[in-house]
Amino acid sequence: MTQPTATETPREVISVRHVWAGYDHEPVLEDINLSVGELDFIGLIGPNGGGKTTLLRVLLGLLSPMRGEVRVMGQSVKEGLHHIGYVPQAVELDRDFPIKVWHVARMGRLGKRGLLQRYTAKDDKIVAEALRSVEMLDLRDRPIGELSGGQRQRVYIARALAKEPTILLLDEPMASVDPQVSASIYDLLSQLNERITILMISHDMTAISSHVKTVGCLNRRLFYHGGEHLTPEMLELAYRCPIELIAHGVPHRVFPKHDVEEARR
């Protein structure tokens, strides 16, 4: 990679410019602009159907935007994809699927080993290291279906890490774990954030706002200004009817009371 402006801090790792995307000519995302800098830890929240998954699919190259441009590490999505480690939602799993922790984590090396290539000893070393970093190496021979939600999430993170990514993309990482476990996973993510840029989407606003560096709201449009708090304004713009939507599962009083000015700068 040639990066002529290496001196400039922080380097932009993902850039989304004026992106419109959706299905069957019906845009779900409207004019999305987002700049992710190196070692950012961004949490995007939004209601279901607000386009969170669609945005992820665009970033992963699974959906081409109708308009606008996405660059990953200055390259097209397809070329930049190998910089991205993807952690999917852990909820949809066939518990009987015959696969062990080790083999799941090793899938992270798929991108490095093409068709007809075998995994190498180097791959094994990287996979072991990835599992160790999420404290799951001891359970390497455990079938994935026998793990708890939190453990499974750790394995998925290890799989993403085995790809040796610069950016980690997480889809609702706390969807199937209880609050205590999710706190420990957030700790893990903060630790990883020392060397990896993280972008996660979630509808779990309470936890997200206290663990990530910056937050944004996504509901067809993106409300993100690089601030560390959700402002009532952002929420009102994103959730057209804040109280009702927030009420599902999360009482609204948990939001930090802070002055709008601070976050607005």
Partner 1 sequence: MIEALQFDFMRNALMAGVLVSIACGIIGTYVVINRIVFLSGGIAHAAYGGIGLGYFFKFNPVLGAIIFSLASALGMGMVHRKTRQRADTIIGVMWAIGMALGIIFVDLTEGYKADLMSYLFGSILAVPSGDLLIMLALDIVIMLLVMLFYKELLAVSFDETFAAVSGVPVDAIYLMLVSMIALTVVMMMRVVGLIMVIALLTMPAAISGMLVRDMKKMMVLAIILGVLFTTTGLWFSYSLNLTSGATIILVSGFAYLLAMASRPLLRPMWPESGQ
Q: Which residues bind partner 1 (CB under 8 A)?
A: 60-62, 81-82, 84, 86, 88, 94, 96-100, 103-104, 107-108, 110-111, 113-116, 119, 142-143, 145-151, 159, 163
CB of 214 to partner 1, least distance (A): 25
Q: Which is nearer to partner 1, 81 or 161 (CB)?
A: 81
Residue located via tokens 């009371």:
257
Helices 149-161 and 179-192 pack at an angle, to 10 degrees, of 10
Closest approach of partner 1 to the CB of residue 233, in Å: 34
Cβ nearer to partner 1, comparing 70 with 147: 147
Q: Given the DSSP bridges, would you call strands 221-224 and 84-87 parallel, antiparallel or unpaired?
A: unpaired
Select 114 or 251, whichever has its Cβ closest to partner 1.
114
Q: What's the min distance (Å) between Cβ of 85 and partner 1?
A: 9
Element (H, E) at 128: helix 121-133
β pairing state of 26-37 and 12-23: antiparallel
Rounded CA gap, 243 and 260, in Å? Answer: 18
Spatial CA neighbour of 78 closest among 56, 93, 60: 60
- In whole angstroms, the minimum distance from the beta carbon of 109 to partner 1 comes to 9
Per DSSP, which regions of 129-213 are E strands? 167-171, 197-202
Smallest gap from residue 173 Cβ to partner 1 (A): 14
Nearer Cβ to partner 1 (151/166) = 151
Tell me whether residue 177 or residue 217 sits nearer to partner 1 (CB atom).
Answer: 177
